[in-house]
Structure 1
Amino acid sequence: MKKVLLLFISLICLLSMEAVAQKERKFIRSGNELFEGEKFENSEVEYRKALDKKINSFEAGFNLGDALYKQKKYEEALKQFQTLAVNEKNPEKLGHLFHNMGNTLLESKKIDESIEAYKQSLRYNPNSQETKYNLEYARQMKKKQEEEQKKKDQNKDQNKDQKDQDKKDQDKKDQDKKDQDKKDQDKKDQNKKDQDKNKDQQNKDKQDKGDKDKQKQQQQQPKISKEDAKRLLEALENDEKKVQEKVQKAKAKAMKAKKTKIKKDW
């Protein structure tokens, strides 16, 4: 009786697991059809449903990573592949996982890491031509990136040299301008000094000319001889005497007129 019961329980478990597996396969098939139709977001939903039914389903997990990759959810896709690789023992499956990790890293511009992922993939699956091609492609991208970086560095150095030269040229130009401004100012100051000097000289010349003209004028005045001066003095004295005589006569006449009495006719 116990044997029959154990057999019955085992059969129920088997049927239950089969039912779960069928549901898992149903969601995976639905997800695959949506994936083929490039409805990647919808396929992601179906793969997640499959994982809800069987959490350790490699196919559902792997396809989920592909669906995330197609939606350019590179960080989520990489985590999905890495999670599957942790517990996976099958070399072929590991080769596929690291191949997809390489693709995801390459799309994320992590070229060095993608190269390492492709190398790891080839360790598990050395005959994969697709992985070899992708590895060479990643190496060429790295080479191109290094050449571009080298060119950028050279341009940066050239730009720095050009900037340094431009600064030197500008400094020289500024210094030349300062020197020229100083020369112009010195010339201007010298011209002002010369003008002031010329003006002072002109004033001095004018003063000297005035003094000379005055002296010349004084020299040109007629000189009076002693005889002429004596005669002129005598003439002035005679005129003075005549004036005095006239004044005396006028005074005498006035006095006489004052003393004369007027007779009245009574």
Structure 2
Amino acid sequence: MKYILFIIITLTAIFSFSQDKEKEALLAAKKANNYVYEGNNLINEDDFVSAEKEYRKAISEQGTTVAGIYNLGNSYIKKGSYEEALYRLDQAAKIATSKVEKHKAYHNIGNVLMENKKCKEAVEAYKNALRNDPSDEETRYNLGLAKICAEQQKDKEDDKKDDKDKDKKDDKKDQEKKEGDDKKDQDQKDKGDQDKKEGDDKKDDKGKPKDEKNDKGKGDEKEKQQPPQPRPGQMSPQQVKSLLEAMNNQEQKVQEKVNAEKQKGYKIKTEKDW
């Protein structure tokens, strides 16, 4: 009996505790809704600062209040604080439990991204909104605008990339031209240095040009003074002269003999037999 009584008491306590927790959650939700309500009224009066405070109170009472987080994000949009707005709207989209809440959050996320010229990201946000409510024609219209904007941005990025690549090619050509000019200048300088060196080599110790012509002439004069040397197997001029004198003497003797035979009446053969 004692054991059964203990179980009954325990269950009663747990049930009572659960009821208390439920009452606290309901009370917190009610307070959060009241803060959201006050914040909405302040937003309508363009009192963004006070409205933000009320929305923060709502979130403090109930951290999962989608309305408080979502409306806080919208208040940032009206203030032009787009980074804070994106943070809060993304938070609302994640904790939302209904498709209606998710659709609204993603739709507004798309609008904020379009304001920031982030068209490609906006396309994805509007697509998420339509996944939760395909019948919303306003979201579909915004999606079309975002797609056009994203395509235009892509074309501009491609043009910039092409211009950048062209600039790189031009810079490379300029560099190659500069290197070519530098090499040409260096070659000319090296040639000038070589010509100067050759010119210096042609000067004597006193810096005067060497008289190569006179030196060459002197060499020729020496060659003239020296008698030509006969080549192997060739007669010297003196030998040729002696041979000619001997032939002339022989011819003279033959002529004298012929004249003597004519005087005797004999015919002399001057042709040789074969």
TM-score by length of 2: 0.57
Task: Give the 3 Å change call, closer, same or farther, for CA 29–87 of structure 1 in structure 2.
Answer: closer
Alignment partner of 2:211 out of 201, 208, 214 = 201
Matches within 5 A, 1:177-192: 177-192=185-200
Amino acid at match of 1:121: A
- Cα deviations across residues 30-63 of structure 1 (Å, max 9, x unaligned)? 3224323444333211112234455544432321
Cα distance in 2 for partners of 1:107, 1:126 equals: 23
Alignment partner of 1:44 out of 41, 44, 52 = 52
RMSD: 3.6
Cα distance in 2 for partners of 1:154, 1:200 equals: 65
Which is worse superposed, 181-190 or 64-73?
Answer: 64-73
Could you say which residue in structure 2 is the equivalent of 1:128? 136
State the 1:81 CA deviation.
2.8
Cα distance in 1 for partners of 2:203, 2:143 equals: 87
- 3-state secondary structure, aligned to 1:127: coil
Could you say which residue in structure 1 is the equivalent of 2:125? 117
Cα distance in 2 for partners of 1:19, 1:155 equals: 59
Cα distance in 2 for partners of 1:106, 1:70 equals: 14
Structure 1: gaps spanning 5 or more residues: 1-9, 209-266
Cα distance in 2 for partners of 1:67, 1:48 equals: 11
- 3-state secondary structure, aligned to 1:80: helix
Cα distance in 1 for partners of 2:106, 2:112 equals: 10
Task: Give the 3 Å change call, closer, same or farther, for CA 119–20 of structure 1 in structure 2.
Answer: closer
1:165 and 2:173 aligned = yes
1:145 and 2:183 aligned = no
1:64 and 2:75 aligned = no
Structure 2: gaps spanning 5 or more residues: 1-18, 219-274
Q: Does the CA-based 8 Å contact 2:59-2:69 persist in structure 1?
A: yes
State the 1:115 CA deviation.
1.4
Cα distance in 2 for partners of 1:115, 1:130 equals: 14
Q: Does the CA-based 8 Å contact 1:62-1:81 persist in structure 2?
A: yes
Alignment partner of 1:93 out of 97, 101, 111 = 101
Q: Does the CA-based 8 Å contact 1:41-1:71 persist in structure 2?
A: no
- 3-state secondary structure, aligned to 1:28: helix
- Cα deviations across residues 38-91 of structure 1 (Å, max 9, x unaligned)? 443332111122344555444323211212334454454334333333453433
Q: Which has the larger radius of gyration?
A: 1
User: What fraction of aligned residue pairs are identical, expressed as a percent?
Assistant: 30
- Cα deviations across residues 152-207 of structure 1 (Å, max 9, x unaligned)? 211121111111111111111011101111222223223333444854439x89xx
Task: Give the 3 Å change call, closer, same or farther, for CA 187–20 of structure 1 in structure 2.
Answer: closer
Task: Give the 3 Å change call, closer, same or farther, for CA 200–120 of structure 1 in structure 2.
Answer: closer
State the 1:18 CA deviation.
8.4
Matches within 5 A, 1:20-35: 21=30, 24=32, 26-35=34-43
Q: Does the CA-based 8 Å contact 1:31-1:42 persist in structure 2?
A: yes
TM-score by length of 1: 0.58
